[in-house]
Amino acid sequence: MRIRANRQRANLVGRFLIFMLAIGAFAALGVVILIRLGTAARDLGPAAEDLNPLESFLLSTYLSAHAADLNAPAGDDVTPIILSVQPGASAAGVSAQLAALGLVRDARVLNFYLRYTGLDNHIEAGDFALNQTMTIRQITSALTNARDRQMAVRLAEGWRLEQMVEALSANPILNVARDEFLALAGPEAPHTGYTFSGDLPPGASLEGFLFPDTYLFRPGATADDVIKAMLDNFEAHLPADYRSQVAGRNLTLYQAITLASLIEREAVVDDERSLIASVIYNRLAISQALEIDATVQYAVAAPGDWWPSIAGLDFRAIVSPYNTYYVTGLPAGPIANPGLKSILAAASPAASDYLYYRARCDGSGRHNFAATYEEHLANACP
C-alpha cells in the first residue's frame, strides 16, 4: 500500500512538473510572439486588426525571412508596364499577375504582405503604370491608393483636335473641360518651352502636334495635364534630325507635320505611307494641286460629323485654305494629328514617279498607284 501511495505521489508530482513546464513553454512562446510582433510592427508596420496574434506571428515571421524580396525591386528596367486590375479581383490573383509581368519576384510574398497589412481588401480597380524598379511596398501603395490609380485613354491616329476633346471631355474619370482644352490647344495658345514652339506660324493651333497614343491619366486630370502629356510625347518621339531631313526637302517642320497629317488620313496600310508621301512630293514639285479628299472633309466638317461624306460636292467650289482642290500646294496647316509612322514617311518618301492613287475595289484598304492620268482612269472600279 505504501509503495502504491508513493507511486501516486510521484505521478502527481510528475504531472505537476509537466503542467508547469507546459505553462512555462506557453509563456515563453507568448513572450517570443510578443517580441516578434513588436519587431514586425517596427519593420512591417501595424498588423491588420482582424488578424489574431498567431496569424500575425506566422505572417510576420515569413515576411521577415523574405525581407530581400519585400524590400528590393524585381529588376532595373524603368519601362512602364500596364497592370489592369478588374473590379473584385483578389489579392492572390493580382499578386500572380504582377509576378507573371516580372514586377515582383515572389507572388506569395506580396500576397502575404497584403494580408498582413490588411490592404488585401483595399486594392483599387483600374490601370496602373508600374515598373521593375518599384519595391513591393511601393507597388502595394500604388494598388491601394486611389490617387495613384491611372486610367488608359486612347487618342487615335488621324483624329482632329475636336475629336480628341470630345473623347476627353466625355470621360467621367477626367476633368477636361471642352472650352478650356480648345483654348489651350487653339490659335495663339500658350505652348512655349517646346522645341517646336518657334516652328508654329502666328495663329496656328496645336493641330498636328497632339501626339496620338494610349495615355495613362490619374483621376481628375485637367486639359492642361492632358495637353502637356501629348506635347511631351511629341517631343520625345520626333527624331533629333527631323528638321534637317525635311529642310532637305524644302519643308519647314510645320509643313512636314501638315504633310504627315495628309498621309495619316489617306493611308490605311503601313507599307503605303511612303508611296502616298511620294505622290504628294511629286505633285508639289510640278505645282499640281494635291486634290486630297480628306482636306475637303476637314473644310466642310461640323460637330457630330468630323469626317463627313463629300459625295456630290463640287470640291473646287469650296473656298477654304485647307481644301487642296481649291488651293495649290499644302493646306494651311495639319488636318489631323498624325502618328509616328506618318511623320517618318513625310520625311522619307519612296522614290517613285507616281502622281495618282485610288482605292482598290476589293475592300482591302490598299491603293493602286499610277504615273499618268490614263493609268489612273484605268484603275477605276468597274
pLDDT tens, position by position, 197-207: 889 998 899 99
Note the pLDDT of residue 278. 98
Q: Are residues 35 and 129 in the same domain?
A: yes
Instruction: Please check whether residue 149 is in contact with residue 124, taking contact to mean a CB–CB distance below 8 angstroms.
Output: yes
Rounded-to-integer distance, Cα 234 and Cα 91, Å: 37
What's the number of CA atoms in the CB half-sphere (13 Å) around residue 198?
3
Q: Are residues 231 and 307 in the same domain?
A: no
Residue 321 domain flag: yes
Note the pLDDT of residue 47. 84
Instruction: Write down which residue in 93, 120, 149 finishes a domain.
Output: 149
By CB atoms closer than 10 A (0-12, 13-18, 19+), residue 62 is middle
User: Amino acid identity of 86?
Assistant: Q
Asked whether the predicted pLDDT for residue 234 surpasses 50, the reply is yes
Residue 24 domain flag: no
Residue range 131-140: mean pLDDT, rounded:
89
Asked whether the predicted pLDDT for residue 298 surpasses 90, the reply is yes
Asked whether the predicted pLDDT for residue 292 surpasses 90, the reply is yes
Q: How far is CA 44 from CA 38, 57, 233, 345, in A?
A: 10, 12, 39, 54
Asked whether the predicted pLDDT for residue 294 surpasses 60, the reply is yes
Note the pLDDT of residue 7. 59
Note the pLDDT of residue 98. 94
Note the pLDDT of residue 371. 96
Residue 127 vs residue 167, higher pLDDT: 167
Instruction: Write down which residue in 202, 237, 272 finishes a domain.
Output: 237
Residue range 148-156: mean pLDDT, rounded:
81
Note the pLDDT of residue 318. 95
**In sequence order, what E strands does the chain have?**
81-85, 126-130, 151-155, 213-217, 356-359, 367-370
Domain count, the chain: 3
Residue 348 domain flag: yes
| pLDDT interval class at 374 (50, 70, 90) | very high
Residue 1 vs residue 198, higher pLDDT: 198
Note the pLDDT of residue 30. 47
Note the pLDDT of residue 335. 98
Q: Are residues 139 and 160 in the same domain?
A: no
By CB atoms closer than 10 A (0-12, 13-18, 19+), residue 263 is buried
Q: Are residues 331 and 364 in the same domain?
A: yes
Residue 289 domain flag: yes
| pLDDT interval class at 18 (50, 70, 90) | low
Residue 92 domain flag: yes
Q: Are residues 143 and 159 in the same domain?
A: no
Q: Quickly tell me which residue has 493611308 as its cell.
A: 267
Report the 3 state secondary structure along 222-267: EHHHHHHHHHHHHHHHCCCCHHHHHHCCCCCHHHHHHHHHHHHHHC
Domain that holds residue 210: 151-237
Mean pLDDT computed over every residue of the chain: 87
| pLDDT interval class at 152 (50, 70, 90) | confident
Q: Are residues 129 and 221 in the same domain?
A: no
Residues 6+ apart with CB under 8 A from 141: 148
Asked whether the predicted pLDDT for residue 22 surpasses 60, the reply is no
Note the pLDDT of residue 305. 94
Q: Are residues 120 and 48 in the same domain?
A: yes
Note the pLDDT of residue 193. 80
Q: Are residues 323 and 356 in the same domain?
A: yes
Note the pLDDT of residue 40. 45
Alpha helices in 72-212 (DSSP H): 91-100, 107-117, 136-144, 161-169, 178-185
Q: Are residues 209 and 310 in the same domain?
A: no
71-111: pLDDT as tens digits: 889 998 877 788 888 888 999 999 999 999 999 999 999 99
Residue 13 domain flag: no
Q: Tell me, what CATH number does 74's domain have? A: 3.30.1490.480
Q: Are residues 177 and 191 in the same domain?
A: yes
Output the nine-digit C-alpha cell for 305: 460629323
Instruction: Write down which residue in 149, 177, 212 finishes a domain.
Output: 149
Q: Are residues 277 and 362 in the same domain?
A: yes
Note the pLDDT of residue 35. 46
Q: Are residues 142 and 161 in the same domain?
A: no
Note the pLDDT of residue 176. 96
Residue % of the chain over a pLDDT of 70: 87
